[in-house]
A and B are shown apart, each in its own frame.
Chain A
């Protein structure tokens, strides 16, 4: 199963709006998507499950994808996380 480890760069981590952005992107994929923090793995398409991981800026998460278009979905999700989940990582 394709997987990738990414570090959350955006200020709020996987909370509030970024959690929603992440879960929505995962839900849009046909493949199954799991997200894992410190060995606890949940359905990435569920914003409630993602919230319970309590991921902060600087935390490392593992994204695992299986099924249709897994590689592409994984690449898209990784780049979404790295781009700051709609929040950026600072500036000014």
Chain B
């Protein structure tokens, strides 16, 4: 007899495999009173905490290497918990009062746990499980128990009350077919792990532990949240079909990972990754990113008291260029405003940083910083060699042709000082201010490319603060008038024979990407994880179909929602894989 349950979808995919039920990590009765003197108990406490921290740091390293950085960070956080000074202080205080080290540690952890669980935040409540995991490790160490868990012998759906990071880290990833938990949330550990491994997960599934037994078949659908224990023949067939679909989809995406981005009729569209940190590069390459259309250089400048030297910047830029051989890499020059003050940039506080001294405006006022950055970029191009990616430089927040001319003059001066030719370096403008979009022809005449930053452009067009949730419903990139403006920018660029890209987050939405390609956009730069889906969608659509659909949307849609419906209806075959 099959049992159908329903939980929350936490990681896409479908799986059918025997259940491997993890017993909840129960602790034995703890000694309440100390066996030794308070000094001895405190010494036991400290060495257990230290050892737990060391084990967790080791685990973090192993997990980072096998399951990825996001996973590894969980254990880094656990190590911080074990090393927490307040936790140690509370436990030591209890020991002074006569408690055993075991009891003192459990109570100290629980005092934090109560506060986390009481908060309204799903994120913090989910951290309670992390805390329990560390607590159990410390207690086991105090008791002299093994801290290694049980392991399934073959590919299984891991079933648990709530999966602790330690439990999952001890299971070899190749036997995990899927994960299902009785409690938890899409932000809890099991969900993060499943997404990192690319296996399905369902969480918050009441009745799961009562129904599931070790070795009995269990089917889970990580898109709908459906769980079937002991599925019948029809249910098995259905879930297997869904699993096959997911598998086909994944293979299809993997198959053209190294293929260039193009439409079904062969029209080339470069699909690049936005890079905000050196850590983003491996995932960008993994996703098949064709270079980067936006390297945010700010992070080199944030969190420090002095500006990075030319040498520091050069070595970083070289690393980025060398990561993308054969592709273009667009570096956006420093883009900070009064909302992200830098200790080495003295400035007046501003009422309205979004409209203040930021982007290229700041660079032109601080030629020392600007020239250092340009110098480092040019030196990096020389140092990286011809095999490396091609250097492109983009100026942010340009609002007039005069600003672009002044920025180009500075670049020419620096290049002359360095005796480096500029012929092979593309120089462009980030189009994100309405005046730049309206004056695109003037800018294109003095640039090698235009790249539309949709996030800021929309914020300025609609007068909407994009961090303010109260007005979040305003400013859809698919508003017919926004599409019309993008069309004008593309036409202005092409009239001057320069390429036009889009580097806002919107480019990662397949429907929006199709609309942009329909408008003639040559390059899309997006969050690295969005690249495979966008690449897949474009390869199923012809450029003409995209063009017709987007022009129809501009001509007839009343608003962004309707434009989206029109695009999805007309391009259905391509957008749904």
A residues with CB within 8 A of B: 9, 15-17, 20, 23, 27, 42-43, 45-49, 51-52, 54, 57, 76, 79-80, 82-84, 86, 88-92
Q: B340 near A82 (CB under 8 angstroms)?
A: yes
* A48-B112, A83-B303 known; A90+B467 contact, CB < 8 A: yes
Closest B residue to A24 using CB positions: B80
Measured CA separation A51–B118 after assembly (Å): 12
Q: What residues on A are CB-neighbors of B462 within 8 Å?
A: none
B residues less than 8 Å from A23 (CB atoms): 80
Assembly CA distance A72 to B549 (angstroms): 59
Contacts of B73 on A, CB cut-off 8 Å? Answer: 17
Q: A43-B85, A83-B341 in contact; A51/B335 too (CB < 8 A)? A: no
Counting CB contacts under 8 A, is B330 at the interface? no
- Given A48-B87, A52-B116, answer yes or no on A92-B274 (Cβ-Cβ < 8 Å): yes
CB nearest to B304 among chain A residues: A83
Contact of A91 among B81, B120, B298 (CB under 8 A): B298
Mark B residues whose CB is within 8 Å of A: 73, 76-77, 80-81, 84-87, 112, 115-116, 119-121, 123-124, 127, 131, 274, 276, 294, 296, 298-299, 302-303, 305, 335, 339-343, 453, 455-456, 466-467, 503-505
Cβ 8 A contact of A88, one of B302, B305, B341, B504: B302
* Bound CA–CA A42/B87 (angstroms): 12
- Please determine whether B121 and A54 come into contact, CB atoms closer than 8 angstroms: yes
A88–B298 touching, CB < 8 Å: yes
Determine the chain B residues whose CB is within 8 A of the CB of A86 once the complex forms.
302-303
Chain B residues within 8 Å of A79, by CB = 305, 341, 343
Tell me whether B298 and A15 are in contact (CB under 8 A). no
Distance (Å) between the CB of B352 and the closest chain A CB?
15
- Among B84, B335, B453, which residue has its beta carbon within 8 angstroms of that of A47? B84
| Chain A residues in 8 Å Cβ range of B120 | 54
Neighbour of B81 across the interface among A45, A48, A84, CB < 8 A: A48
Distance of A28 from chain B, by nearest CB (Å): 12
Q: Is the CB of A92 within 8 A of B119?
A: no
Closest Cβ of chain A to B405, distance in Å, is 25
Known: A84-B302, A88-B299, A90-B467. A45 touches B340 (CB 8 A): no
- B342 neighbours in A (Cβ, 8 Å): 83
The answer to whether A52 and B112 have CB atoms under 8 Å apart is yes
What are some 6 contacts across the A-B interface (CB < 8 A)? Answer: A17-B73, A47-B80, A49-B84, A49-B112, A92-B294, A92-B456
Q: Contacts A48-B112, A52-B112, A82-B340: A91 and B296 contacting too (C-beta < 8 A)? A: yes
Report the Cα distance A47→B276, complex, angstroms: 26
Instruction: Give chain A residues whose Cβ lies under 8 Å from the Cβ of B123.
Output: 15-16
Closest residue of A by beta carbon distance from B115: A52
Which residue of chain B is the closest to A21 with respect to CB atoms?
B303
CB neighbours (8 Å) of A57 from chain B are: 467
Whether A47 lies near B455 (C-beta < 8 A) is no
The closest CB in chain B to the CB of A47 belongs to B80
Q: How far is the CB of A4 from chain B (nearest CB, A)?
A: 14
Q: Is the CB of B453 within 8 A of A92?
A: yes
Complex: A16 Cα to B74 Cα, angstroms? 9
- B residues near A83, Cβ cutoff 8 Å: 302-303, 340-342
CB B27 to nearest CB in A, in angstroms, measures 20
Which residues on B sit within 8 Å (CB–CB) of A27? 85
Measured between beta carbons, the chain A residues less than 8 angstroms from B274 are 92
Which of A42, A54, A88, A90 is the one whose CB lies under 8 Å from B124? A54
B296, A92: Cβ atoms closer than 8 Å: yes
Q: Is the CB of A20 within 8 A of B80?
A: yes
Inter-chain contacts of B335 with A (CB < 8 A): 91
Write the nearest CB–CB distance from B568 to chain A, whole angstroms. 25
Assess whether A82 is in contact with B467, with CB atoms less than 8 Å apart. Answer: no
Q: Is the CB of B77 within 8 A of A20?
A: yes
Q: How far is the CA of A11 from the CA of B193 in the complex (A)?
A: 22
Once the chains bind, are A51 and B127 in contact (CB under 8 Å)? yes
Query: Which residue, A20, A49, A86, has most C-beta atoms of chain B within 10 A?
Result: A49
Which of chain B's residues have a CB closer than 8 A to the CB of A91? 276, 296, 298, 335
> Which among A45, A47, A79, A91 has the highest number of chain B CB atoms within 10 Å?
A91
Q: A92 is contacted by which of B131, B343, B455 (Cβ under 8 Å)? A: B455
Kindly state the separation between the CA atoms of A82 and B467 in the bound complex, as whole angstroms: 16
**A92-B456, A92-B503 known; A84+B340 contact, CB < 8 A:** yes
Q: Which of B76, B80, B124, B299 contacts A15 (CB 8 A)?
A: B124
The 8 closest A-B pairs by CB, nearest first: A46-B86, A52-B115, A54-B119, A48-B84, A92-B455, A48-B112, A83-B302, A49-B86
Chain A residues with Cβ under 8 A from B127's Cβ?
Answer: 51
Do B276 and A46 touch across chains, with their CB atoms under 8 A apart? no
Min distance, Cβ A12 to any Cβ of chain B, angstroms = 9
Contacts A51-B127, A83-B341 known; list 11 others, CB within 8 Å: A15-B124, A46-B86, A48-B81, A49-B84, A76-B305, A79-B343, A80-B303, A88-B298, A88-B340, A90-B467, A91-B276
Q: Which residues of A contact B504 (CB under 8 A)?
A: 92
Chain A: CB-nearest residue to B343: A79
Q: How far is the CB of B425 from chain A (nearest CB, A)?
A: 22
A17 CA to B113 CA in the complex, in Å? Answer: 19
From B294, B296, B340, name the one whose CB has the most chain A CB atoms within 10 angstroms. Answer: B340
The reply to whether B339 and A9 contact each other, CB–CB distance below 8 Å, is yes
